[in-house]
A = this chain, B = another copy of it.
């Protein structure tokens, strides 16, 4: 397999983009990535999107987006793994370049979620759960993650304040990200007094509904310097693991086992351990998710994700800053775009282009993207060359 580098990244403003269509926001991010890399063509495309069918009544994105980017007849593939669709697109693009099939690959993630009403969006997101056993019996994702939170609190004594601290930290980071949907800072009191959604999760524990896109340009590492003036960021580890789609089939409700396995695969491929990583972007769809994920990845001991967050370990300036972009909580969560945008943030940080939220002397970063309640899990580790 060939070594693979990222030589371009692109991302537009995220939010409720009612004046733009799905194809518009994808093309905007893709052109930014192409311009950032400085390449004059692309060989193939991978698009992560969870459900353009349910959100905007459009499937067949491979054809539509290569067409609207002016890139037909190149091969283009749409991949889906619920909220991990973006991470899956990164992985499939990596495999394409590593195999020798393509040299310059565009990886995009996109979701247009606000063209439907709240009930329809909740239904569409619910299709990431096991519909026959979970969805049709009435549960939605806040309820599933609330059960995970309750179990974590029961087993480990995780507190309501510790959950809230994830939101406080990520909004603090997001306030330094001009592309974030909700860049306002929030206090512990505001989170803990916000509207109840599914006990113990309140509205400020939940990531929002977002329109947005993000894109990357990948190429063989050996060609990176000839193709682009940007400092290449090498993908040194990739891990992908599935778990039971239904939460009730898991052995341990308070752990994301698939993320542990995907993380171990990525660390093994990179020949590294968690201590070798300087920052991470992880899947904080709900505050409890970030706590479970930092435990699964080995940044915190099992059951200690809450106290670790409270201690400032994952804050900017801490031992391992997590979600410097603002995370899904503050930056927004256009589900198919999230996994690609996580990589955009790591590349910007590793290149020293993260402005006010820059992590000093960052050489290696990690992304963790998750579908449903942890049914699919994708981890990448990157190193600036």
In the complex this chain forms, how many copies of it are found? Answer: 2
Report yes or no: B127 in contact with A73, Cβ–Cβ below 8 A.
no
Interface string of A129-160 (1 = CB under 8 A from B): 11110010000000000000000000000000
As a 0/1 sequence over residues 230 to 243 of chain A, the CB contacts with chain B under 8 angstroms (1 = contact) are: 00000000001111
Q: Does A327 have its Cβ within 8 Å of any Cβ on chain B?
A: no
Knowing A77-B79, A244-B72, the reply to whether A372 touches B60 (Cβ < 8 A) is yes
Give the chain B neighbours of A123 by CB distance below 8 A.
Answer: 57
Q: A60-B81, A101-B98 are in contact. Are A67 and B241 (CB under 8 A)?
A: no
What CA separation (Å) do A59 and B59 show in the bound complex? 13
Interface with B: A6-14, A88-96, A172-180, which one? A88-96
Instruction: For the complex, give the distance between the alpha carbons of A101 and B99 in Å.
Output: 8
Asked if A164 is at the interface of the complex by the 8 Å CB criterion, the answer is: no
Q: Which residue of B lies closest to A76 (CB)?
A: B242
Q: Is A380 at the interface (CB under 8 A from chain B)?
A: no
Contacts of A242 in B (CB 8 A): 62-63, 66-67, 71-76
The one of B71, B77, B128 in contact with A92, judged by C-beta atoms closer than 8 angstroms, is B77
Q: Judge whether A214 is part of the interface by a CB distance below 8 angstroms.
A: no
Majority SS of interface residues in chain A?
Answer: mixed
Most chain-B CB neighbours within 10 Å: which of A53, A60, A75, A249?
A60
Query: Is there an interface contact between B99 and A63, defined as CB atoms closer than 8 Å?
Result: no
- Check B56 against A53 for contact (C-beta < 8 Å): no
B61, B71, B75, B258: the one within 8 Å of A240 (CB): B75
Asked whether any CB of chain B lies closer than 8 Å to the CB of A78, the reply is yes
Contact yes or no, B98 A62, CB < 8 A: no
Asked whether B51 lies within 8 Å of A371 as measured between CB atoms, the reply is no
Give the number of chain A interface residues (Cβ < 8 Å). 65
CA distance A131 to B57 in the complex (A): 7
Q: Identify which of A67, A77, A258 gathers the most chain B CB atoms within 10 Å of its CB.
A: A77
Contact B375 A67 (CB under 8 A): yes
- Interface residue? A64 (CB, 8 A): yes
- The answer on a CB contact under 8 Å between B375 and A73 is no
Chain B residues with Cβ under 8 A from A39's Cβ? none
A100: Cβ under 8 A from any B Cβ: yes
A1 at the interface (CB under 8 A from B): yes
Minimal Cβ-Cβ distance residue in B for A58: B131
Q: A345 in the interface, Cβ–Cβ < 8 Å?
A: no
A203 within 8 A of B: no
Using Cβ atoms and an 8 Å threshold, which residues of chain B touch A383?
Answer: none
Check if A376 is an interface residue, CB within 8 A of chain B: yes
Pairwise interchain contact A375-B60, C-beta atoms closer than 8 A: yes
List of B residues within 8 angstroms of A81 by Cβ: 60, 62-63, 76-78
CB<8 Å pairs between A and B, sample of 25: A1-B101, A23-B132, A44-B240, A53-B53, A54-B59, A57-B135, A58-B130, A59-B80, A59-B128, A60-B82, A60-B375, A62-B80, A62-B371, A63-B244, A66-B242, A67-B249, A72-B243, A73-B241, A75-B91, A76-B242, A77-B88, A78-B79, A79-B79, A80-B80, A98-B101
Q: Nearest 4 A-B pairs (CB), nearest first?
A: A63-B375, A99-B99, A75-B240, A60-B82
